[in-house]
Structure 1
Amino acid sequence: MKRVALAGTENLTNYIEALKENDIEAVVTLDIDEAIKCDGLLIPGGGDIDPVYYGEEMDGSDEPDRDLDKAQRDILDAFVKSKKPILGICRGMQLINIYFGGSLYQDLETKDIHTRKNDNDTVHSVRSVAEGNVFEKFYGKNFNINSAHHQGAKKLGKGLKEVLQSEDGVCEAIIHEELPIIATQFHPERMSYKQRRDDAVVGEEIFKYFRSLLK
């Protein structure tokens, strides 16, 4: 069974279940030495990242968990250097973008399209902006996804490629042009298996693809 380091601290049940459905053991840890023994890394959703990491002061970000920021970044650094597969989801995508030198919109002007309503994910459409990318192969050129965030990628980090975009121009997914890194601003773990939705695509394809990257 493949093992994936799940670098988070709370609300991880859906990630664990999605990995388990793909015969992957989730190793929940923020310890680098334990994490790097795994075959891949999943950085889950969560709160806002300290904008100091992309050279800005607080300007719309929620108060960050600085210990978590550092721990996740250090683990990400280890996996990037080892060239092992990485899946980033929501906060995870933002952290990956920042790591490679990108920045964030700290509070999107169009956040009402993306934030949760009454504790439920919002649903909106996205379009493929890179011909033949993996998401387009799975779902076509236009499809619906869930959404639960108020920040988004502004400047893209070095080596990263935007592949999906929402109707208001927000980046919804990225891939690395050389490394086995894939990331979504949306939450496929809440569109998969027991969490499937009738109003959005099935997120399982993303986890199946991540499983295929694991050596």
Structure 2
Amino acid sequence: MSARPLVGVTASARGGRWMWWANRIAIWRAGGQARRITVDDPGPPDDIDALLVGGGDDIDAELYGLDLRLGLRIDKERDRLELDRLERAHARGLPVLGVCRGAQILNVFRGGTLHPDIYEAYGRLPPQRTVLPRKRITIVEDSRLYRVMGLRRCRVNSLHHQSIDKLGQDLRAVARDKYRIVQGIDCESGQFVLGVQWHPEFVPLNSHHQALYKALVRSA
């Protein structure tokens, strides 16, 4: 029997264990093996077969040309670690899946920008934070995300208050909610690169969400 592909999963060194364990289980069910990557324990940088950039704290606004926002919980060391791992994955042609914060920093890595606060950017919005899949999104049919999930419309959870603004190089928005907030990005050229603004690891019984992990492992 061949070894399971090794998927590096970036995470916060100071919390987020529940996200890590949910991602670890999802990757195992998809046929892979997960390795946690943190600032305190980065592990060997180039021995993984795929990269999952996980959720967590906000991203430093200075990375995309805006002033630092007071009151935001950021982790500059993690930002640097993930940008390094994304650079290495790009150079090696590894498949990449960005989840929530991970989709945002993937966009920043490719030269894009973020809305530091969706409530400022989009005006009056209902509360966006729920682990339950209550938000409706629409997926572009001519996209990798659609081919992976097999759905044009679905419900997702929402734990973010930042979102993608200007898209990075070779990325396109392939899913949005009814307020036009970007919920999914992908790169059609070259390597497998996907980013989703929600947390599929918290929808373990939905095969369409879990298909994201299967596609990542299969691409590895």
Calculate the TM-score normalised by the size of structure 2: 0.85
CA distance in 2, matches of 1:181, 1:136: 13
Is the aligned partner of 1:6 residue 2:6?
Answer: no
| Structure 1 residue 116: Cα displacement | 1.9
- CA-atom RMSD, angstroms? 2.1
For residue 48 of structure 1, give the secondary structure of its aligned residue in structure 2. coil
Of 75-84 and 138-147, the range deviating more from structure 2: 138-147
CA distance in 1 between counterparts of 2:135 and 2:127 reads 8
Question: What's the counterpart of residue 29 of structure 2?
Answer: 21
Distance 1:135 1:75 in 2: 22
Correspondence for 2:217: 211
8 Å Cα contact 1:27/1:35 also seen in 2: no
Taking the aligned partners of 1:142 and 1:175, their CA distance within structure 2 comes to 17
2:137 corresponding residue in structure 1: 126
Pair 2,35 (structure 1): closer, same or farther in 2 beyond 3 Å: same
> Which stretches of structure 1, 4 residues or longer, exceed 4 Å deviation after superposition?
110-114
Kept in 2, the 8 Å contact 1:61–1:106? The answer is no
Task: State TM-score, norm by structure 1.
Answer: 0.87
What is the aligned residue count? 205
Compute the displacement of 1:121 (Å): 4.0
Query: Which residue is equivalent to 1:34?
Result: 44
Given that 2:59 and 2:105 are in contact with CA atoms closer than 8 Å, whether structure 1 keeps it comes out as yes
Shift of 1:60: 6.9
* Residue segments in structure 2 that go unaligned for 5+ positions in a row: none
Which SS does the other structure have where 1:157 is aligned?
coil
SS of 1:63's equivalent?
Answer: coil
State the shift of 1:7 in Å.
Answer: 1.5
The verdict on how the C-alpha distance between 1:17 and 1:102 changes in structure 2, with shifts beyond 3 A counting, is same
**Structure 1: gaps (5+ residues):** none
Counterparts in 2 of 1:2 and 1:163: CA distance versus 1, 3 Å: same
Any idea what the Cα deviations from partners look like across 1:105-161, whole Å, max 9, x if unmatched?
Answer: 0001258546325xx4462111123x3323334343222111110010000001001
